[in-house]
Amino acid sequence: MCSRGASFLTCFGRDILPSDVISSRDRFRIKRMFRYFQTGKARRGVKRWIKEHRALRYVRLLQPEPRLWGREAGDLPSFLIIGAQRSGSTFLHDRLQQKTSASGSPLQKEIHYFDSKYYRSLAWYARFFDPLEERTGATATFEASPYYLYHPAVPKRIHESLPDVKVVAALRNPVDRTVSQYQWIRDRNLEVRGPEEAFQYDAERLHWEQEPSYLKRFENPLYFDFDHIHYGYLRRSLYHIQLQRWQEWFPPSQIRVVGSQRLFEHPDDVIGELVEFLGLERSENAKHERVNQNSPREKVPVPEEARDIARRHLEDVIARTESVLTDQMILGNHSSLHWT
């Protein structure tokens, strides 16, 4: 326990600044940064400070998780929903919580441990979950982070930490998913470009997804790429490349893919098949009921010219994706993916 008057870093520095990631010299610099920002000199010397302190690359590590303070480690997840973004992962997450014995994290749906927070320990990750014995009727824990499908280093990381975990991916028509992501990012004020410019910019970078020198950067747990996290409208729709990465580390018996349209039109059928695959039990006790609410504001219109750019660059994605999927990996059959 922290004594009264103890400094923030004394109490929580071990969790925020892990010694196995940051050198002692950089730890000293970061601690000095805290003290510096508590003085009035920060405003006058911010330019000089930024130039002198290389520890700025660790700024993400300084974000505490007060929700975890005092929480004990729970049971690690037995399955994960890995994406794709804007393809129904939240809908699937909520349905599993409401209709089955699966229990998600009581703190948040998307933890992003294996992509952007892998510098933390596995024990830190476990603190997001409750012990199963404390959750009435729960037989498994899980989480849903859509970035897992797209991040090139995640399959290996999950295999090393949770080799027996099962993964579920919801896939949407790639063009529709691309347009939906643009509208969502624009609605969050993270995008100022028009759809044609944004899609064309991303089209010029499609080859990045298979460049070893580019993908190698993501092996570093501290690597942070804002463009990769928030944009990649076309790149995120290259399902065949992403699924091949997962197949390198997990057998088909641990992977299931469901079409988003079938998920929305026949949710009970999909949940029934997942109950069998994941070894869950049916339950009608609604837990953490939530709806994935979109912004009430009107969606940004995407002209046909922008959609044509997406169609031109994604025209063979459906065929390539179906070619890498085995019958065992698909909930239902190939026709149940409902791409159109």
Q: Model-level pTM?
A: 0.82
CA dist., res. 39 & res. 57, Å (int) = 22
Where do the domains of the chain lie? Answer: 8-64, 79-337
Structure tokens at 220: 């570093």
pLDDT at 200: 94
Superfamily of domain 79-337: P-loop containing nucleotide triphosphate hydrolases (3.40.50.300)
Each as own residue / partner, the long-range contacts of residues 210-216 (CB below 8 Å, 24 or more positions apart, any chain) are 210/241, 215/152, 215/153
pLDDT tens profile 3-36: 444 444 444 444 444 554 556 666 666 666 666 5
CA dist., res. 298 & res. 66, Å (int) = 35
- Say which DSSP state 332 is in: S
Angle of CA points 154, 158, 162, to nearest 5°: 175
- CB contact at 8 A, 256 and 167: yes
pLDDT at 226: 82
| Amino acid identity at 286 | A
pLDDT at 285: 59
**Secondary element (H or E) of residue 243:** helix 239-249
Backbone Cα Rg of the chain: 22
- Beta bridge partners, 275, equal none
- CB contact at 8 A, 319 and 240: no
Residues in the chain, pLDDT under 50:
1-17, 20, 43, 47, 49-52, 287-291, 293, 295-296
H helices of 127-173, in order, are 147-150, 154-161
pLDDT at 24: 65
End-to-end CA distance of the chain: 57
Q: What distance lies between CA 93 and its chain's CA centroid?
A: 13
pLDDT tens profile 266-316: 999 999 999 999 999 998 755 444 445 454 456 889 999 999 999 999 999
- Beta bridge partners, 83, equal 169
- Say which DSSP state 293 is in: P
CA dist., res. 183 & res. 189, Å (int) = 10
CA dist., res. 40 & res. 45, Å (int) = 9
